[in-house]
Chain A
């Protein structure tokens, strides 16, 4: 393996993995849907509202939105992870570093534990959207706060952002600890499940919103590939090469906040994807962000779909939290890759 695989081969390979994960996910689940029934469901789509068999309802209203949400979530996390690692020039960076996950978690915790007593009106008017909106808002506000803290005369300093991020994350962790003391047993378990992530809440309205947010973010991120390649040489060199470093940072932070914020708000915290997908791609394809960005998005989506398929089948009719499986499946594979490509880290 001295020769790095061609860019096209890596993109093609990730896309094939994603399609395979989607296909396996589509035919497996607690509710038995045979291939012929699935074919019936798919062929009847074009003919408007035909038969509404249970298979039809289960596939179109439950399984399919879940698969699409999995694709959006994985793509958003993989892409954002690449942006963060490129921006911080640090292999440990992931979207959680700039406070999105902890901000969202804190807001979700506040909503779960105190929501009913603080704002009795809120759940009634917003219904099941309360948690989603609060989590998205929480992630966004905390990210802006960390971004604001890292500003100095010379512009945004990444070392400051890193430290501010770690500090604010610790603060959010303390807030969650405080909430867990105030929480009842049931609230505590709800919060715990939220922190482990799940695609179980997938409904079309939310899936479409997240899908649009991730698509727009990926589209916007595409223009950052070349600036990030330049930043990899160092911020000063990038500036000499004519890259607007400040603008790149600002955009990367906002794109990450939108994509990961939307994903996290609907699924809870899905760990490891943002960290391992970009590394995985870089180990095989090299550091060019024009390849790493799209390939990480594809690979992240494939990983989330694979993990979720296991999550919803292995204990059926109950299911496992997704975050447990992204770690259980992703980490051993990642460690194998590390051994195999240890010369390239």
Chain B
């Protein structure tokens, strides 16, 4: 019976109520009383499922982890997120599996699917928030807003966003003020056997640009397999890769043994920067810190 009520609460007019709930939330924090909007289970905050590592990070950043009932396999940070029930890979969600967690809202990026499953979940009265991943700062802002809305933590979300916006402005200003040549950076992703390099319209392309570098590769969108001649002609000063790629190769030494890299300027100086994939490409609340750190590593590698 209680579930029935929860779902009907969501499918009916939850939008105007949310504002009341918010006001009451602050009141409740002061111990002022229950929420009349759903008096029967007054203390219950919306249950959330997040499908994307960065969105899960936002939930933790807002202190809403108590409401988190499930995450996808890309949710690896903070470590506690690994212990939450896993709903599978973000492209292969299961309608019944998701609903069995009895969530009030699911927050995902537009890379999640299948669409049919998301439709079925919507039909069952669960709110589905989809955030467009366009590798911009706006993406991070939208994630914070969406989680704030879905978790009924809009005040905290606004505070978090103000803080992140300030951090971001500061990082961009610092990078904009940097003098000297912009390094040509090649991003290599190799979680499986054959390494791939990133072209335009990728998270890596955006991140390299933000951190004051230039993507050594252009003229194509997405990822391409890495080939020796193309790498030689791209002539990157720095190789950027994920920690996971290095692990897959069995260490930095082995990574440099790849023949494709031997003719690059980066090889001569062994200019390699590794970063956790989720931190680097996730576009979550840690983006300003990640970009700042990456910029410093670029400078250090060029020096």
Contact = CB atoms under 8 A, between A and B. Distances in A.
B120 to A, nearest CB: 5
Interface in B81-120: 85-89, 91-102, 111, 113-117, 119-120
B91 A317 contact: no
A123 to B, nearest CB: 10
B243 interface: no
Q: How large is the interface on B (under 10, 10 to 19, 20 to 34, 35 or more residues)?
A: 35 or more
B15 interface: no
A152 to B, nearest CB: 42
B3 A30 contact: no
A318 B116 contact: no
A201 B225 CA distance: 31
Contact of A54 (B86, B99, B225): B99
Given A32-B100, A201-B116, A317-B70, A61 B123 contact: yes
A127 B116 CA distance: 10
B124 interface: yes
A200 B92 contact: yes
A61 B124 contact: yes
A185 B99 contact: no
A76 to B, nearest CB: 20
B4 interface: yes
Given A29-B96, A54-B3, A190-B91, A200 B114 contact: yes
Contacts of A200: 92-95, 114, 116-117
B222 interface: yes
Contacts of A317: 70, 85-88, 94, 97-98, 100-101
A198 B92 contact: yes
Contact of A185 (B86, B115, B196): B196
A3 interface: no
Interface residues of A, number: 33
A189 B73 CA distance: 13
Given A184-B223, A198-B92, A319 B97 contact: yes
A193 interface: yes
A193 B4 contact: no
B290 interface: no
Contacts of A63: 96
B189 interface: yes
Nearest to A317: B97
B83 to A, nearest CB: 14
Contacts of A202: 116
A63 B97 CA distance: 11
B265 interface: no
Centre residue among A53, A201, A316, A318 by max chain B CB count within 10 A? A318
A75 to B, nearest CB: 22
Nearest to B202: A184
Contacts of A198: 92
A31 B99 contact: yes
Contacts of A31: 96-97, 99-100
Contacts of B273: none
A203 B92 contact: no
Contacts of A181: 225
Contacts of B86: 317-318
Interface of B: 3-4, 7, 70, 73, 85-89, 91-102, 111, 113-117, 119-120, 123-125, 189, 191, 196, 222-223, 225
30 contacts: A29-B96, A31-B97, A31-B100, A53-B4, A54-B4, A54-B7, A54-B102, A58-B96, A62-B95, A127-B115, A128-B114, A185-B196, A186-B111, A189-B91, A193-B91, A200-B93, A200-B94, A200-B116, A201-B116, A202-B116, A312-B96, A316-B94, A316-B97, A317-B70, A317-B88, A317-B94, A317-B98, A317-B100, A318-B86, A318-B89
